[in-house]
Amino acid sequence: MRRQLASLRALLVDLDGVVYRGSTLLDGSTEFFRFLNAKCLAYCLITNNATSTPTQVARKLKDLGIEIAESSIFTSGQAAARYLTRQAPVGTGVYIVGEDGLRQPLLEAGFRIDDVAPGYVVVGLDREFTYKKMAIACVAVRRGAKLIGTNPDKTFPVEEHLLPGAGALLASITSCSGARPTVVGKPSAEMLKLAIEHLGVRKRETAIVGDRLDTDVLAGKRAGITTILVLTGVASQEDLSRSRIAPDYVFRDLNELRAAMA
Ligand SMILES: [Mg+2]
């Protein structure tokens, strides 16, 4: 839903390809957050990556030169934990395939690890994934546990390569269990709705800023908020002319967006 940029009160800002790329800060990032702070605009940095905790993400940003409060960071691991608190009472058993960024929010939310008869199997990227973990997840889901995925990304880029992502692990578990997972991360609208709630703002005054049409912009459209694409990450001008997913606004980078919002 397109709104005037000047009427926006809150931004959900994707990280990789928008604020940094790999371990390089993108042009205009520092000035952009200074601008948002000065204008008292609410913002939340959102990432589909569920391996890191907000503390770890904030530390990475600090090392790159940007100070962001941990409370302004929202990962798909946190989104999965919040989603589950709506579905199941505190103390419900969960089997976790994932790392700190998923384990920590689930435990903090009061869930209990259970690898025998969990109510839920929650799957994020786990760089120590094994046949044994796949088997435990498979058996649990076949016994009736509900399957939740943090994000559907089949791959993620590391320097020159594409490595298996959370979606690839999830696919192995759906393959052996026959279950259809609920996925909370982008392009599902769920994570954006939870982030909007987390900020305490209204949908009609909120926009997402992202670098991908098939995740960020699509999720924004599904959530019914304004969508802003920056061309510093995955999507190119050429992708834009070919895609049926059309963002409300397109900017070359955060510098251009800041100038348009000023
Ligand atoms: Mg991105």
Active site residue 16: yes
Question: Binning pLDDT at 50, 70 and 90, where does residue 260 land?
Answer: very high
Count CB-CB contacts under 10 A for residue 229.
29
Q: How far is the CA of 12 from the centre of ligand 1 (A)?
A: 12
Whether the predicted pLDDT of 125 surpasses 60: yes
Quote the distance between the C-alpha of residue 74 and its chain's center: 7
Is 214 annotated as catalytic? no
The chain-wide mean pLDDT, for the chain, equals 95
Between CA 116 and CA 139 the distance in angstroms is: 9
What is the distance in A from the centroid of ligand 1 to the CA of 209?
9
Poorest-pLDDT segment among 56-70, 123-137, 150-164, 213-227: 150-164
| Whole-number Cα distances in Å, 198 to 17, 62, 170, 191, 255 | 23, 22, 26, 10, 26
* pLDDT at residue 51, as a whole number: 94
What is the arrangement of strands in the sheet containing 249-251, beginning at the earlier edge strand? 73-75, 42-47, 10-14, 206-210, 226-230, 249-251
* Residue whose entry in the numeric block shows the structure tokens 């192995």: 172
**102-126 average pLDDT score:** 98
Question: Which residue among the candidates 14, 153, 211, 216 is catalytic per the annotation?
Answer: 14
Dist. CA 91 → ligand 1 center (Å):
34
Question: Domains in the chain, please, with CATH?
Answer: 5-48+186-261 (3.40.50.1000), 89-183 (3.40.50.1000)
Q: What angle do CA 40, 210, 172 make, to 5 degrees?
A: 130
For residue 4, the model assigns a pLDDT of 87
pLDDT at 157: 74
The Cα–Cα gap between 192 and 223 comes to 7
pLDDT at 2 over 70: no
| 159 Cα–ligand 1 center, Å | 15
199 has pLDDT over 60: yes
Residue 11, beta-bridge partner list: 43, 207
**CA-CA-CA-CA torsion for 37, 40, 42, 47, nearest 10 degrees?**
-10
156 band by pLDDT with thresholds 50, 70 and 90: confident
Catalytic residue among 16, 153, 211, 216: 16
Encode pLDDT of 31-63 as tens digits.
999 999 999 999 999 999 999 999 999 999 999
d(CA 192, CA 1): 14
**Least confident segment among 158-162, 237-241, 252-256:** 158-162
Residues sharing a CB contact under 8 Å with residue 158, sequence separation 6 or more, in sequence order:
none
Residue 1 has a pLDDT of 57
According to the model, what pLDDT value does residue 22 have? 82
pLDDT exceeds cutoff 90 at 171: yes
Ligand 1 center–CA 46 separation, angstroms:
9
Lookup: tokens for 243:
């895609």
